[in-house]
A = this chain, B = another copy of it.
Amino acid sequence: MSNSNQLKDSFQKTTYRLSQNGPRNVAVLQEALQSVDPNLESDIYGSGKIIEDFESKIAKFLGKEKAVFFPSGTMAQQIALRIWADRKNNNKIAYHPLSHLEIHEQDGLKELQQIELLLLGTAERVPTIEDIRNLDESVSCVLLELPQREIGGQLPTFAELEEISQYCRENGIQLHLDGARLWEITPYYKKSEKEISALFDSVYVSFYKGIGGIAGAILAGDANFTDEAKLWKRRYGGDLISLYPYIISANYYFDKRIGKMEQYYEAAKDLARRFNACEGVKTVPEVPVSNMFHVHFEKPAEAVEPILTKIHAETGVGCSGYLQSKPSDTCGFELSVGDAVAEIPAEQLDRVFELLQI
Protein backbone atom coordinates (compact mmCIF):
# COMPACT_ATOMS: atom_id res chain seq x y z
CA MET A 1 0.00 0.00 0.00
CA SER A 2 1.38 3.42 -0.94
CA ASN A 3 1.59 6.23 1.57
CA SER A 4 -1.16 7.98 -0.32
CA ASN A 5 -3.59 5.13 0.37
CA GLN A 6 -2.47 5.16 3.99
CA LEU A 7 -3.41 8.83 4.21
CA LYS A 8 -6.78 8.21 2.61
CA ASP A 9 -7.50 5.24 4.85
CA SER A 10 -6.48 7.09 8.01
CA PHE A 11 -8.72 9.99 6.97
CA GLN A 12 -11.70 7.73 6.37
CA LYS A 13 -11.36 6.28 9.88
CA THR A 14 -11.56 9.68 11.60
CA THR A 15 -14.59 10.66 13.65
CA TYR A 16 -14.29 14.42 13.09
CA ARG A 17 -13.48 16.51 10.02
CA LEU A 18 -12.13 20.00 9.43
CA SER A 19 -13.98 20.28 6.12
CA GLN A 20 -17.54 20.03 4.86
CA ASN A 21 -20.81 19.10 6.53
CA GLY A 22 -20.32 15.43 7.33
CA PRO A 23 -20.14 12.26 5.24
CA ARG A 24 -21.67 12.18 1.75
CA ASN A 25 -23.82 9.15 2.40
CA VAL A 26 -27.43 8.09 1.84
CA ALA A 27 -28.42 9.55 5.23
CA VAL A 28 -28.13 13.01 3.65
CA LEU A 29 -31.00 12.21 1.29
CA GLN A 30 -32.97 10.27 3.89
CA GLU A 31 -32.85 13.23 6.28
CA ALA A 32 -34.08 15.64 3.59
CA LEU A 33 -36.98 13.32 2.72
CA GLN A 34 -38.03 12.55 6.27
CA SER A 35 -40.65 15.24 6.65
CA VAL A 36 -41.80 15.37 3.02
CA ASP A 37 -45.40 14.37 2.30
CA PRO A 38 -45.23 11.05 0.37
CA ASN A 39 -48.10 12.26 -1.80
CA LEU A 40 -46.16 15.27 -3.05
CA GLU A 41 -46.21 14.95 -6.85
CA SER A 42 -42.97 14.69 -8.81
CA ASP A 43 -41.90 17.47 -11.14
CA ILE A 44 -42.46 16.33 -14.73
CA TYR A 45 -39.92 17.46 -17.34
CA GLY A 46 -39.30 20.83 -15.69
CA SER A 47 -42.93 21.54 -14.72
CA GLY A 48 -44.86 21.15 -11.50
CA LYS A 49 -45.10 22.84 -8.15
CA ILE A 50 -42.01 21.22 -6.63
CA ILE A 51 -39.60 22.60 -9.24
CA GLU A 52 -41.39 25.86 -10.02
CA ASP A 53 -41.66 26.85 -6.35
CA PHE A 54 -37.95 26.29 -5.78
CA GLU A 55 -36.97 28.12 -8.96
CA SER A 56 -39.10 31.10 -7.89
CA LYS A 57 -37.68 31.05 -4.39
CA ILE A 58 -34.08 31.15 -5.59
CA ALA A 59 -34.79 33.67 -8.37
CA LYS A 60 -36.24 35.99 -5.74
CA PHE A 61 -33.35 35.36 -3.38
CA LEU A 62 -30.87 36.26 -6.13
CA GLY A 63 -32.94 39.22 -7.29
CA LYS A 64 -33.32 37.81 -10.79
CA GLU A 65 -36.50 37.59 -12.84
CA LYS A 66 -36.42 33.81 -13.36
CA ALA A 67 -34.41 30.75 -12.49
CA VAL A 68 -34.04 27.23 -13.91
CA PHE A 69 -33.02 24.18 -11.90
CA PHE A 70 -30.31 22.03 -13.53
CA PRO A 71 -28.84 18.68 -12.57
CA SER A 72 -25.33 20.16 -12.78
CA GLY A 73 -23.41 23.40 -12.93
CA THR A 74 -21.35 22.10 -15.84
CA MET A 75 -24.49 21.93 -17.93
CA ALA A 76 -25.92 25.20 -16.63
CA GLN A 77 -22.82 27.25 -17.31
CA GLN A 78 -22.08 25.90 -20.78
CA ILE A 79 -25.64 26.81 -21.66
CA ALA A 80 -25.38 30.31 -20.18
CA LEU A 81 -22.28 31.01 -22.21
CA ARG A 82 -23.83 29.63 -25.40
CA ILE A 83 -26.86 31.86 -24.97
CA TRP A 84 -24.72 34.98 -24.54
CA ALA A 85 -22.50 33.98 -27.47
CA ASP A 86 -25.61 33.61 -29.64
CA ARG A 87 -27.10 36.86 -28.37
CA LYS A 88 -23.96 38.78 -29.32
CA ASN A 89 -23.29 36.69 -32.40
CA ASN A 90 -19.75 36.24 -31.11
CA ASN A 91 -18.50 32.86 -29.92
CA LYS A 92 -15.58 34.25 -27.91
CA ILE A 93 -15.78 34.11 -24.13
CA ALA A 94 -13.22 35.03 -21.49
CA TYR A 95 -12.57 33.42 -18.10
CA HIS A 96 -9.82 32.69 -15.58
CA PRO A 97 -7.20 30.11 -16.67
CA LEU A 98 -8.32 27.77 -13.83
CA SER A 99 -12.04 28.09 -14.45
CA HIS A 100 -14.02 24.88 -13.88
CA LEU A 101 -14.96 24.99 -17.55
CA GLU A 102 -11.30 25.05 -18.56
CA ILE A 103 -9.92 22.31 -16.34
CA HIS A 104 -12.71 20.02 -15.12
CA GLU A 105 -15.12 19.53 -18.03
CA GLN A 106 -13.06 17.67 -20.63
CA ASP A 107 -13.44 20.63 -23.00
CA GLY A 108 -17.22 20.25 -23.11
CA LEU A 109 -17.70 23.91 -23.94
CA LYS A 110 -15.42 23.68 -26.95
CA GLU A 111 -16.58 20.23 -28.08
CA LEU A 112 -20.31 20.79 -27.68
CA GLN A 113 -20.60 24.52 -28.27
CA GLN A 114 -17.63 25.42 -30.46
CA ILE A 115 -16.94 28.32 -28.13
CA GLU A 116 -13.52 29.93 -28.29
CA LEU A 117 -11.97 30.74 -24.95
CA LEU A 118 -9.74 33.64 -24.01
CA LEU A 119 -7.96 33.39 -20.69
CA LEU A 120 -8.13 36.33 -18.30
CA GLY A 121 -4.90 37.26 -16.54
CA THR A 122 -2.76 34.57 -14.93
CA ALA A 123 -3.53 31.43 -13.01
CA GLU A 124 -2.31 32.44 -9.53
CA ARG A 125 -4.46 35.57 -9.05
CA VAL A 126 -8.04 36.76 -9.63
CA PRO A 127 -8.85 38.59 -12.89
CA THR A 128 -8.76 42.39 -12.86
CA ILE A 129 -10.48 45.00 -14.96
CA GLU A 130 -7.16 45.51 -16.74
CA ASP A 131 -7.22 41.86 -17.84
CA ILE A 132 -10.61 42.47 -19.42
CA ARG A 133 -9.53 45.78 -21.00
CA ASN A 134 -6.42 44.12 -22.40
CA LEU A 135 -8.16 41.21 -24.13
CA ASP A 136 -6.84 40.87 -27.68
CA GLU A 137 -10.24 40.24 -29.16
CA SER A 138 -13.79 41.31 -28.42
CA VAL A 139 -15.76 38.79 -26.38
CA SER A 140 -19.50 38.30 -25.96
CA CYS A 141 -19.21 37.38 -22.32
CA VAL A 142 -16.88 37.38 -19.34
CA LEU A 143 -17.30 34.67 -16.70
CA LEU A 144 -16.14 35.51 -13.19
CA GLU A 145 -15.91 32.83 -10.52
CA LEU A 146 -16.48 34.15 -7.00
CA PRO A 147 -14.60 32.98 -5.03
CA GLN A 148 -11.86 31.66 -7.35
CA ARG A 149 -11.81 28.11 -6.10
CA GLU A 150 -8.57 26.77 -7.56
CA ILE A 151 -6.50 29.46 -5.85
CA GLY A 152 -7.97 28.93 -2.42
CA GLY A 153 -11.14 30.94 -2.91
CA GLN A 154 -9.70 34.41 -3.52
CA LEU A 155 -11.86 37.43 -4.35
CA PRO A 156 -11.50 40.85 -5.91
CA THR A 157 -12.75 43.72 -3.75
CA PHE A 158 -16.41 44.59 -4.17
CA ALA A 159 -15.39 47.96 -5.61
CA GLU A 160 -13.34 46.18 -8.30
CA LEU A 161 -16.34 44.00 -9.08
CA GLU A 162 -18.53 47.04 -9.50
CA GLU A 163 -15.98 48.57 -11.81
CA ILE A 164 -15.81 45.39 -13.93
CA SER A 165 -19.59 45.23 -14.07
CA GLN A 166 -19.87 48.82 -15.22
CA TYR A 167 -17.13 48.36 -17.82
CA CYS A 168 -18.85 45.28 -19.24
CA ARG A 169 -22.21 47.02 -19.43
CA GLU A 170 -20.71 50.02 -21.18
CA ASN A 171 -18.90 47.81 -23.64
CA GLY A 172 -21.70 45.41 -24.50
CA ILE A 173 -20.09 42.45 -22.74
CA GLN A 174 -22.37 40.07 -20.84
CA LEU A 175 -21.14 39.27 -17.35
CA HIS A 176 -21.82 35.77 -16.02
CA LEU A 177 -21.27 34.73 -12.41
CA ASP A 178 -19.91 31.29 -11.62
CA GLY A 179 -21.39 31.44 -8.16
CA ALA A 180 -20.87 27.81 -7.20
CA ARG A 181 -19.83 29.24 -3.82
CA LEU A 182 -21.78 32.51 -3.90
CA TRP A 183 -23.47 31.99 -0.54
CA GLU A 184 -20.07 31.61 1.08
CA ILE A 185 -18.77 35.09 0.15
CA THR A 186 -21.58 37.25 1.52
CA PRO A 187 -20.03 37.66 5.01
CA TYR A 188 -16.72 38.98 3.62
CA TYR A 189 -18.35 41.38 1.17
CA LYS A 190 -21.03 42.29 3.70
CA LYS A 191 -23.37 42.16 0.73
CA SER A 192 -26.39 39.96 0.09
CA GLU A 193 -26.52 37.43 -2.74
CA LYS A 194 -28.93 39.85 -4.39
CA GLU A 195 -26.49 42.76 -4.23
CA ILE A 196 -23.69 40.65 -5.69
CA SER A 197 -25.92 39.13 -8.39
CA ALA A 198 -27.11 42.59 -9.45
CA LEU A 199 -23.68 43.14 -11.01
CA PHE A 200 -24.17 40.16 -13.34
CA ASP A 201 -26.46 39.36 -16.28
CA SER A 202 -26.66 35.69 -15.36
CA VAL A 203 -25.86 33.77 -12.22
CA TYR A 204 -25.16 30.10 -11.54
CA VAL A 205 -25.35 28.78 -7.98
CA SER A 206 -24.75 25.28 -6.61
CA PHE A 207 -26.47 23.34 -3.85
CA TYR A 208 -23.84 20.82 -2.80
CA LYS A 209 -20.89 22.97 -1.76
CA GLY A 210 -21.62 25.27 1.20
CA ILE A 211 -25.27 24.22 1.20
CA GLY A 212 -24.41 20.53 1.43
CA GLY A 213 -27.21 19.11 -0.74
CA ILE A 214 -26.90 16.04 -2.99
CA ALA A 215 -26.32 17.76 -6.37
CA GLY A 216 -28.03 20.35 -8.54
CA ALA A 217 -27.70 23.93 -9.68
CA ILE A 218 -29.73 26.99 -10.50
CA LEU A 219 -29.20 29.31 -13.45
CA ALA A 220 -30.87 32.70 -13.05
CA GLY A 221 -31.38 35.71 -15.28
CA ASP A 222 -34.14 37.47 -17.21
CA ALA A 223 -37.08 35.51 -18.63
CA ASN A 224 -35.76 35.44 -22.20
CA PHE A 225 -32.51 34.02 -20.94
CA THR A 226 -34.11 31.31 -18.81
CA ASP A 227 -36.58 30.36 -21.57
CA GLU A 228 -33.65 29.71 -23.83
CA ALA A 229 -31.81 27.92 -21.05
CA LYS A 230 -34.75 25.49 -20.71
CA LEU A 231 -34.55 24.70 -24.42
CA TRP A 232 -30.86 23.90 -24.09
CA LYS A 233 -31.48 21.92 -20.93
CA ARG A 234 -33.72 19.65 -23.00
CA ARG A 235 -31.05 19.40 -25.72
CA TYR A 236 -28.38 18.40 -23.20
CA GLY A 237 -30.53 15.70 -21.69
CA GLY A 238 -30.83 17.65 -18.45
CA ASP A 239 -34.61 18.02 -18.59
CA LEU A 240 -35.18 14.86 -16.58
CA ILE A 241 -38.67 13.55 -15.99
CA SER A 242 -37.94 13.95 -12.25
CA LEU A 243 -35.32 16.14 -10.62
CA TYR A 244 -37.09 16.18 -7.27
CA PRO A 245 -34.51 14.14 -5.31
CA TYR A 246 -32.07 17.00 -5.91
CA ILE A 247 -34.64 19.78 -5.53
CA ILE A 248 -36.00 18.54 -2.21
CA SER A 249 -32.52 18.15 -0.77
CA ALA A 250 -31.35 21.49 -2.19
CA ASN A 251 -34.31 23.22 -0.60
CA TYR A 252 -33.94 21.42 2.72
CA TYR A 253 -30.23 22.12 3.15
CA PHE A 254 -30.57 25.65 1.77
CA ASP A 255 -33.01 26.43 4.57
CA LYS A 256 -30.81 24.64 7.09
CA ARG A 257 -27.49 26.30 6.17
CA ILE A 258 -28.06 29.58 4.36
CA GLY A 259 -28.00 31.41 7.71
CA LYS A 260 -24.72 29.78 8.77
CA MET A 261 -22.32 31.29 6.23
CA GLU A 262 -21.03 33.86 8.73
CA GLN A 263 -20.28 31.04 11.17
CA TYR A 264 -18.38 29.06 8.48
CA TYR A 265 -16.45 32.18 7.46
CA GLU A 266 -15.38 32.96 11.02
CA ALA A 267 -14.39 29.33 11.61
CA ALA A 268 -12.36 29.37 8.37
CA LYS A 269 -10.46 32.48 9.47
CA ASP A 270 -9.81 30.90 12.85
CA LEU A 271 -8.53 27.66 11.32
CA ALA A 272 -6.33 29.55 8.86
CA ARG A 273 -4.75 31.50 11.74
CA ARG A 274 -3.93 28.24 13.47
CA PHE A 275 -2.48 26.65 10.32
CA ASN A 276 -0.34 29.72 9.68
CA ALA A 277 1.04 29.51 13.23
CA CYS A 278 2.48 26.07 12.45
CA GLU A 279 6.06 25.65 11.27
CA GLY A 280 6.26 24.98 7.50
CA VAL A 281 2.56 25.61 6.88
CA LYS A 282 0.77 28.54 5.28
CA THR A 283 -2.69 29.15 3.89
CA VAL A 284 -3.81 30.73 0.61
CA PRO A 285 -5.27 33.20 1.02
CA GLU A 286 -3.53 33.98 4.30
CA VAL A 287 -6.79 35.40 5.63
CA PRO A 288 -9.76 33.60 4.06
CA VAL A 289 -12.46 35.66 2.34
CA SER A 290 -15.00 32.84 2.37
CA ASN A 291 -15.44 29.48 4.10
CA MET A 292 -12.58 28.01 2.08
CA PHE A 293 -8.81 28.22 1.75
CA HIS A 294 -5.88 26.09 0.65
CA VAL A 295 -3.32 24.70 3.08
CA HIS A 296 0.23 24.67 1.69
CA PHE A 297 3.13 22.72 3.14
CA GLU A 298 6.78 23.59 2.51
CA LYS A 299 7.70 19.95 2.03
CA PRO A 300 6.73 17.32 -0.58
CA ALA A 301 3.73 15.02 -0.15
CA GLU A 302 5.91 12.05 0.88
CA ALA A 303 7.13 14.04 3.88
CA VAL A 304 3.74 15.43 4.88
CA GLU A 305 1.66 12.27 4.44
CA PRO A 306 3.05 10.44 7.51
CA ILE A 307 2.49 13.55 9.64
CA LEU A 308 -1.17 13.88 8.63
CA THR A 309 -1.67 10.13 8.92
CA LYS A 310 -0.36 10.29 12.48
CA ILE A 311 -2.61 13.26 13.31
CA HIS A 312 -5.63 11.37 11.98
CA ALA A 313 -4.84 8.31 14.07
CA GLU A 314 -3.97 10.18 17.25
CA THR A 315 -6.66 12.86 17.31
CA GLY A 316 -9.53 11.31 15.35
CA VAL A 317 -9.72 14.59 13.44
CA GLY A 318 -9.53 14.29 9.63
CA CYS A 319 -7.52 17.08 7.97
CA SER A 320 -7.44 15.72 4.41
CA GLY A 321 -7.61 12.41 2.57
CA TYR A 322 -5.20 13.55 -0.14
CA LEU A 323 -2.23 15.83 -0.77
CA GLN A 324 -1.77 17.56 -4.09
CA SER A 325 1.85 17.99 -5.17
CA LYS A 326 2.79 21.59 -5.94
CA PRO A 327 5.79 23.26 -7.58
CA SER A 328 9.16 23.44 -5.75
CA ASP A 329 8.63 20.18 -3.87
CA THR A 330 5.69 21.45 -1.85
CA CYS A 331 2.16 20.15 -1.49
CA GLY A 332 -1.25 21.08 -0.14
CA PHE A 333 -4.97 20.45 0.22
CA GLU A 334 -8.23 22.36 0.06
CA LEU A 335 -10.37 23.06 3.07
CA SER A 336 -14.04 24.18 2.98
CA VAL A 337 -15.64 24.82 6.32
CA GLY A 338 -19.16 23.59 6.97
CA ASP A 339 -20.97 22.08 9.94
CA ALA A 340 -18.35 19.43 10.69
CA VAL A 341 -15.65 21.56 12.32
CA ALA A 342 -17.96 22.74 15.11
CA GLU A 343 -18.34 19.15 16.31
CA ILE A 344 -14.64 18.68 17.07
CA PRO A 345 -13.92 18.76 20.84
CA ALA A 346 -11.61 21.71 21.60
CA GLU A 347 -8.79 19.63 23.08
CA GLN A 348 -8.68 17.33 20.05
CA LEU A 349 -8.53 20.29 17.69
CA ASP A 350 -5.75 21.83 19.80
CA ARG A 351 -3.85 18.57 19.56
CA VAL A 352 -4.04 18.66 15.73
CA PHE A 353 -2.13 21.91 15.63
CA GLU A 354 0.36 20.81 18.29
CA LEU A 355 1.23 17.82 16.12
CA LEU A 356 1.30 19.77 12.86
CA GLN A 357 4.99 20.68 12.61
CA ILE A 358 6.32 20.14 9.12
What per-residue 1/0 map shows which CB atoms of A44-71 lie under 8 Å from chain B?
A: 1000000000000000000000000011
Pair A244/B26 contact, Cβ less than 8 Å: yes
Q: Which residue of chain B has the shortest Cβ distance to A77 in the bound complex?
A: B237
Pair B73/A106 contact, Cβ less than 8 Å: no
Given the interface contacts A106-B231, A235-B112, A237-B108, does A24 sit within 8 Å of B242 by beta carbon?
yes
Q: Which of B108, B208, B235 contacts A105 (CB 8 A)?
A: B235
Pair B38/A236 contact, Cβ less than 8 Å: no
A76 at the interface (CB under 8 A from B): yes
Q: How close is A34's CB to chain B, nearest CB, in angstroms? A: 9
Extra inter-chain contacts (10) besides given A30-B33, A106-B231, CB under 8 Å? A24-B44, A24-B241, A29-B244, A29-B245, A42-B214, A70-B237, A75-B238, A107-B235, A236-B237, A237-B238
Pair A75/B25 contact, Cβ less than 8 Å: no
Q: How close is A40's CB to chain B, nearest CB, in angstroms? A: 5
Residues of B within 8 A of A41 (CB): 23-25
A234 at the interface (CB under 8 A from B): yes
Residues of B within 8 A of A215 (CB): 240-243
28 interchain pairs (CB within 8 A)? A23-B39, A24-B41, A24-B42, A24-B241, A25-B40, A26-B37, A26-B244, A27-B39, A30-B36, A71-B238, A71-B240, A72-B237, A72-B239, A72-B240, A73-B237, A75-B236, A75-B237, A105-B235, A108-B234, A112-B113, A208-B241, A208-B242, A214-B244, A215-B240, A215-B243, A236-B236, A236-B237, A245-B245
Q: Which residue of chain B has the shortest Cβ distance to A248 in the bound complex?
A: B26
Residues of B within 8 A of A72 (CB): 237-240
Residues of B within 8 A of A111 (CB): 235
Q: How close is A241's CB to chain B, nearest CB, in angstroms? A: 5
Q: Which residue of chain B has the shortest Cβ distance to A233 in the bound complex?
A: B106
CA of A29 to CA of B27, assembled, Å? 13
A165 at the interface (CB under 8 A from B): no
What per-residue 1/0 map shows which CB atoms of A233-263 lie under 8 Å from chain B?
A: 0111111111111101000000000000000
Q: Which 5 A-B pairs have the closest CB atoms?
A: A75-B237, A108-B235, A74-B237, A245-B245, A27-B38
